[in-house]
Every structure is written in C-alpha cells, then in structure tokens.
Structure 1
Amino acid sequence: MTTAPARDRTVLRLLAAEPAVMLAAGRALLLQVAHPKVAQGVADHSDLRHRPLDRLYGTLDFLTIVAFGTEEEAERMGRAIRRTHERITGPGYSGNDPDLQVWVNATLIDAALFVYEDVLRSPSGDLAAAYIDQARFVAEVLGCPPGAQPADLASFRRYMDDAIAGLEVTDTGRMVMREVLWSRRLRWLWPATALNRFVTAGLLPEPIRVQYGLPWSRARDRALWTALRTGAFAYRLVPGRLRRAGVPLLLWNSRRRSARRARGYRTG
C-alpha cells in the first residue's frame, strides 16, 4: 500500500504566518456575510451577540491547523467541521454547500493577497499563483470538490470580481455586521474595536461598504492609507523570520482550543 505524497504548503504557510494578514480579517468576514445564504447561516447558528469571538477563533484555529499542523490533524479538523456543518441547515442554505465553501475560502484567500499586494506592496509574481493553488487545500479539507474551485490565479480574479459584483447585502447581513463591529460584549475593548471598524470599512470594496451603510469619505481614506503605508514600511524592516516567530505558539493555542471543543462535542 502506498501513501499519497504530502501536499506542498510552503506558500500557504508563508502568507498564513504573516501577522499583517489579520488586518483584512474584517474584510473577509463582511464579504462572507454579504452573501445572503452565509449571512442567514451565521445569524441562525452563531451566537454572535453573547460570544462574539467564537467565529473568529474557530476560523483562526482551523486555518492555523490546516496550514501548519500535520495533514492528519488537518483531515481530523476537517471531519469535525463537516459534522458541524451537517447541522447548519435552513431555508435555502447548507453548511456543506460546495458553492458556499468556495466563497468563504475565496474571501480568506482574497484577504491574504490583498494585504500582501495592496497593503505591504510586496511583489507577488509566481507567489500569488502558487498561493491560489495551495490554498485550495483549505476547502478540500472541508470536502469541497477541487473542480468547484477556481483553477488558477486568473480564474480566481474573475471569480472574485463577478462574485462581488453580484452580492446583495441583506438586512440579516447588516445585522451580523453590527454584531461584529459594534459588539456590546467587547465594549471594554473600545479603542481596538473602533480601530477595527475604521480599518474594516476602509478595506471593503466600495460597493459592499455602501450596501452595509458604513460611512466613509476621502479624508478617511487618505488617513487610512497613510497609516497603512507608514506601518507597512516599518513592518518590512522587521526580518521575516522574526515576524513569523509566533507561529509555534499560535499552533499550540489552536490545538489546545480545538481539543477543548472536541471534548465539548463528545460530551454535549
């Protein structure tokens, strides 16, 4: 019996290890729930009002283990999430819908490339194409057929452009947005949440920002991009090995939280 060769995750790990990628976490989430079916699923099955960080930690732990854990850990995580997704059903949506899996994964890929190319202004070259190919593994772990995903960088760009142009933010999506950006449970973190609102609004594609009703202006845009360019200059002065030094701790925390969730599922 032969074993399948290990997947190449070099570029996936390179971008996932960059702390700056988290700048676009809000962009990814609000693009996700700009899709009406995703928004309804989140509203029906996520307790954002009382546990606003659960979805963030769940997504972060999944991505961390898929990128940096063993392939066996990634597959185990995928099976657990697929079982959870089986319970996420409602009128017109399912957690295991391949189209929704492709969309959610695409927003995460888009967020990483947006920070790398637009914020850090790092030349992507072949890196972006390799990242698209390797990041498909994330959706495959969830059971999404490889053929359902954009096959290459050009296809991915077209997919995102077409998808964003067709999005219609619903009242449910706007409710989820308010629970995320104005969480009452996180009022004690108001300086951080205010900054997150500012960055998230500024990094959203303009048509989506308008549909959410988030205020913006040229002055805010100039202030945001001046701060981002200045921060990116300082960020690039830090050696990459030092920037990515926190990965082992991040993986340890993700493994610990995931194990705790698994124990809860078995006893629940």
Structure 2
Amino acid sequence: MSNTVTLRTTSTAGDKAVEEGKWGRYYDPILEQSPIIQKIVAESCSMNGGTAAVLLQIASKGVGLGVSAHSSFTRRPVERARRSIVYIYAMAFGNQEERRIVTDATHRAHSRVKGPDYDANDVDLQLWVAATTYWSLIVGYEEVFGKLDDKTADRAYKEFSVMATGLRVPPDKWPKDRRAFQEYWDKTISELEITDEAKAVGQDVIYPAGHLPSWGLWLYAQLTGPSTRITTTELLPERIRNEFGLPSTVYTRTAYTISRALNQLIYPWLPQSLRHFPKNYYLQDFRNRVAKGSRL
C-alpha cells in the first residue's frame, strides 16, 4: 500500500491556502513546530497522562459508542496504542508530508467507524480528542519539570493546535488562547456522559493485561498497572474518575504524591537517550513503514 500524499485541488480558507488530498483537506497548524512542542513531546514522562486522556475521550458519548462498537482496544490494544503514539510523535516531529501521511491513515481508519449516533471523523469529537492529548502531554511534562512560564505556555498551546489540524479540525476551531481553552475544557467536562459502553471499554483500558498478546507484555502491564491506575485516578476530574471506578483515596493520593516527588528527583537526571527512547523508537518505526509502503 502506498503512503504517498496526492494533492487534488487547492482552495482558499481565510488567508491560508487549504490543500485537498484524496481523503480530505489538509490544514496547517496555527504555529509550526518549534523546539518548544518538541521538547515537551520528546520526554517520555509527558506520556504519563495518556490513560487519563483515553478515558476522557471515551467519556464523550460519540467517542465511547464508536470505540465500543469498532475499536481494537480489547482485541488489539498494543496496535491501537502504537497508532495513537505514532500520531503524537509524527505531528510534533514530522515534516509536512509525514504529517499528511498520518492524517490520511487516521482518517481512513476512522472512516469505518460510523453509526446512527456517532462518526469518528466528526470535527467536534476530533477536537475533544486533540484537546485531551494536549492536556495530558502538558500535565505529564509539568508534573516532572514544573509549570511552564506564561510566554512558553502560550507558544506551546498554539503549536499544539497541530494535534487538532492533523485530525482535520479547522484551525479556527482550536480555542484562540489558553483562557478560551480552559472555558471549553470546563464546559465539555461538565457535559460528558459516560455510557455503559464507555465504562466497559474503560475497564479494558484500565486493566489491559488480560488482552495482551505475549507474556512479556502481560508481565509489564502487571508491574506498571498499579502505578498507571494511581496516576490516572489523581489526574482525572472527580466525577469522571468515580464513574470509571477509580475513586481517590488516602492511599492513591499518598502514593501519587510520593511517585511525583521521586519522578521530579530522578527523571531529569536520566540519560536523554533513555528519556527520549520511545520517541526515537516510534518515529524510526513509522519512517521505516512509510519507506516500505507498509500499513501504518
């Protein structure tokens, strides 16, 4: 299967050219990548909020229904996670052609996820997916390295619009600044409706060990699962974590505080090659697949 991007037409939206590919429009992010977004995304600690982000995504009714009916969370959790991780790294580090290849691959996969009450390519649902991705990466980074200063945070926020435009969300749908994003975030959180289907999928996300394809991955999930659940519990809003069966307790709060302190103490001193290993591995794997024309 060829992964080459083919452009069909060019139209204009506002002051920016909008190019049309086989699977839809390509939107440029509000700001292109710089060392800011790349510094954040490169750190493996930034991925620590990933499970919380997934639960927030499926807490949105349309996402939850689509994932329950069509997703490979249960049948192929490793493959599903790999594609999500590749998306993040490609958006942050890929050139324009690489980003468009991933955009098309994502759109193709989502085009099969449709039903009476959901469409995986719905712009509003994709905006929420991008918002939770931005939130989780920033939280994961700041929990270890401390808060970004306002100027850096504002710049990073605009650069993170690539997580939305890569899902074919028009750039003007991305809230204009961090204050607007917070208003959007709070409103969406208050409106989330966690269905029975979402709760069932949530259990597979929280306790994935029973669905893993090898004993090595099973053992890894057993060893890291408790820590992941504690982090997820303490990052999620109270109503959301309770509905997913993850109540905050004295134990989880204490364990999370200790874990965060240890991460702040130890993680920055680890070799960069170790801290950035997931980024380097998944980007190289992605580029190898593109070169071979393999399935992404």
Higher strand share: 2
TM over 0.5: yes
Out of 32-41 and 210-219, give the one that drifted further. Answer: 210-219
* Aligned twin of 1:200: 232
Aligned residues: 262
* Aligned twin of 1:157: 182
Aligned counterparts of 2:253 and 2:203: Cα–Cα separation in 1:
21
How is 1:100-115 mapped onto 2 (pairs within 5 angstroms)? 100-115=125-140
Aligned counterparts of 1:76 and 1:153: Cα–Cα separation in 2:
29
CA deviations on 1:157-192 (whole Å, 9 max, x unpaired) are 111111112212111111011111222123433112
* Aligned twin of 1:23: 48
Deviation at 1:84, TM superposition (A): 2.2
Deviation at 1:108, TM superposition (A): 0.5
Instruction: Kindly indicate whether the alpha-carbon contact (under 8 Å) linking 2:85 and 2:282 is maintained by their aligned counterparts in 1.
Output: no
Instruction: Kindly indicate whether the alpha-carbon contact (under 8 Å) linking 1:117 and 1:123 is maintained by their aligned counterparts in 2.
Output: yes
Deviation at 1:238, TM superposition (A): 4.4
Q: Which of 211, 225, 230 is equivalent to 1:185?
A: 211
**1:165/1:258 CA distance change after superposition, 3 Å:** farther
Instruction: Kindly indicate whether the alpha-carbon contact (under 8 Å) linking 1:136 and 1:149 is maintained by their aligned counterparts in 2.
Output: yes
Does residue 39 of structure 2 align to residue 14 of structure 1?
yes
CA deviations on 1:11-54 (whole Å, 9 max, x unpaired) are 22121101111110111111111111101111111122221122
How is 1:1-268 mapped onto 2 (pairs within 5 angstroms)? 8-10=32-34, 11-183=36-208, 184-186=210-212, 187-189=218-220, 190-238=222-270, 243-244=275-276, 247-256=279-288, 263-264=294-295
Higher helix share: 1
**1:162/1:259 CA distance change after superposition, 3 Å:** farther
Instruction: Kindly indicate whether the alpha-carbon contact (under 8 Å) linking 1:81 and 1:142 is maintained by their aligned counterparts in 2.
Output: yes
Amino acid at match of 1:146: P
**1:256/1:202 CA distance change after superposition, 3 Å:** farther
Aligned counterparts of 1:56 and 1:13: Cα–Cα separation in 2:
20
TM-score of the pair, normalised by structure 2: 0.80
Q: Which runs of 4+ in 1 moved over 4 A?
A: 3-7, 238-242, 257-260
Out of 25-34 and 116-125, give the one that drifted further. Answer: 116-125
**Identity fraction in percent:** 30
TM-score of the pair, normalised by structure 1: 0.88
Deviation at 1:138, TM superposition (A): 2.2
RMSD of aligned alpha carbons: 2.5
Instruction: Kindly indicate whether the alpha-carbon contact (under 8 Å) linking 1:34 and 1:167 is maintained by their aligned counterparts in 2.
Output: yes
**1:188/1:237 CA distance change after superposition, 3 Å:** closer
